[in-house]
């Protein structure tokens, strides 16, 4: 262990000390490719390659956060003890900073936390800099199609005609609020869903999402 390792929060230095199972080079690269696929093909469900061993909650989401965050980014976390612990675990490995919900680069919430007020509360960017907007990560119970859930009609870049998705654990009111917010395109936010079995799906702001109410 050198002074350099102590001074940096980088995964490489701490990896040597703490023997984290997530390889800072190889696993982050593989994880990033899956996240990129998810965002490129909205609504399709993909499998994350690695979980971050030792994470206090959803080790798959921890791997995604460790892949994307560093000391130049900020994260807002829903006020749940499990998520707070997860954020701390990630922070030890990325040195990211916490930030208020309306300014954070990344937002971490549970399914219930993705409520009707969330879309209007996160950073949405500006006309000149629409990329200065949040990536919202929602931890959902399951993205397994067999698990059922709200049926979402999809359209937009990356979406083959007629594709639908099924997402349980996020209230319909969230989707309706999201539609209103992303109508101010290019301003908006981008959504990533991760379940605790390593499935991931994503919806950039360009995806039109129409929930169909579940059959009675």
Partner 1 sequence: MGYTAVKGGAEAIAAAERLLLELPTEAGELRVELRQVRHQLKASVDKVMAEGGVYAPDLAALAIVQTEGDLMEAAFMLRAYRSTLPRLGYSLPVADREMRVIRRISSAFRDVPGGQVLGRTRDYTQRLFDFTGTAAGSAALNAATPEAAAASLTSDGSDAVPWYLPKVSDAMRAMGVMDQLPKPSDDAEPFDITREALRFPASRPAWLQALARGESGALLALSYSSIRGFGGIANHGTIAELRAGDLPLQVVHPLTGLPVTIGSFRATAVEMTGNEKTKDAAGAKGDRYGLSYGIVFGQEERKAIAMALLDSTLQAQAPVEGEPPPAADQEMVLYHSDGVESLGFVEHLKLPHFVTFGSGLQATLERSAVASGAALREEEPHSHGPGDEPHTHGADGAKQPSHGAVPTAG
Partner 2 sequence: MTTDVREAAGTVAGLAETFSYNYAFLDELSKKAIRRAILKGVAIPGYQVPFGSRELPIARGWGTGGLQITLSLVGPGDVVKVIDQGADDGVNAVNIRRLVERTSPGVETTADTSAATIIQTRHRIPEEPLRKDQVLVFQVPQPEPLRSVERREAETRRMHGEADYSRMWVALYEDIVQNGRVTRTAGYPVVVNGRYIMAPSPIPKWDIPRLNMAPHLSLFGAGREKRIYAVPPLTSVTPLEFEDYPFQVEQFYGQTCLRCGSDTTYLVANPTETGTLRYVCSDTAWCDAALATKGEEVRA
| CA distance linking residue 180 with residue 131, whole number of Å | 18
Binding segment (CB under 8 A) for partner 1, from list 7-15, 55-63, 77-85, 155-163? 7-15
Site string for partner 1, 155-194 (x = CB under 8 A): ----------------------------------------
- Under the binding rule (CB under 8 A), the answer on residue 73 touching partner 2 is yes
| CA distance linking residue 59 with residue 63, whole number of Å | 6
Q: How far is CA 98 from the centre of its chain?
A: 16
Residue (10 or 121) nearer to partner 1, CB? 10
Yes or no: say if 203 and 209 are a contact pair by the CB < 8 Å rule: yes
Question: And the tokens for 215?
Answer: 């059959």
Q: Nearest distance from residue 75's CB to partner 1, in Å?
A: 17
Residue (6 or 100) nearer to partner 1, CB? 6
| CA distance linking residue 101 with residue 121, whole number of Å | 7
- Under the binding rule (CB under 8 A), the answer on residue 32 touching partner 2 is yes
Phi and psi torsions of 150, nearest 5°: -65, 130
6 binds, among partner 2, partner 1, none (CB under 5 to 8 A by kind): partner 1
Question: And the tokens for 104?
Answer: 């954070």
Provide the 8-state DSSP code for 22.
Answer: S
Span 197-216, contacts to partner 2 by CB under 8 A: 204-206
Residue among 8, 37, 179, 206 that touches partner 1 (CB under 8 A) = 8
| CA distance linking residue 160 with residue 183, whole number of Å | 21
Q: Nearest distance from residue 11's CB to partner 2, in Å?
A: 7
Number of residues that bind partner 2 (CB under 8 A): 45
- Under the binding rule (CB under 8 A), the answer on residue 1 touching partner 2 is no
């Amino acid at each position: 262990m050198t002074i350099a390792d102590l001074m940096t929060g980088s995964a490489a230095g701490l990896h040597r000390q703490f023997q984290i199972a997530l390889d800072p080079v190889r696993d982050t690269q593989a994880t990033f490719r899956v996240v990129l696929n998810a965002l490129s093909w909205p609504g399709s469900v993909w499998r994350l390659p690695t979980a971050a061993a030792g994470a206090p909650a959803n080790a798959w989401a921890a791997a995604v956060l460790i892949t994307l965050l560093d000391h130049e980014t900020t994260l807002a976390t829903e006020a749940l003890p499990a998520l707070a612990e997860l954020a701390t675990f990630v922070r030890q490995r990325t040195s990211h900073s916490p930030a208020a919900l309306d300014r954070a680069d990344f937002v971490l919430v549970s399914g219930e936390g993705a409520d009707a007020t969330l879309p209007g509360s996160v950073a949405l960017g500006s006309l000149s800099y629409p990329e200065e907007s949040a990536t919202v990560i929602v931890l959902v119970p399951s993205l397994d199609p067999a698990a059922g859930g709200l049926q979402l009609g999809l359209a937009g870049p990356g979406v083959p005609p007629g594709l639908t998705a099924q997402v349980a654990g996020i209230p319909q009111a969230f989707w309706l609020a999201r539609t209103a917010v992303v109508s101010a395109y290019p301003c908006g936010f981008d959504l990533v869903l991760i379940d605790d079995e390593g499935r991931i799906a994503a919806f950039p702001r360009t995806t039109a999402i129409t929930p169909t109410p579940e059959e009675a």
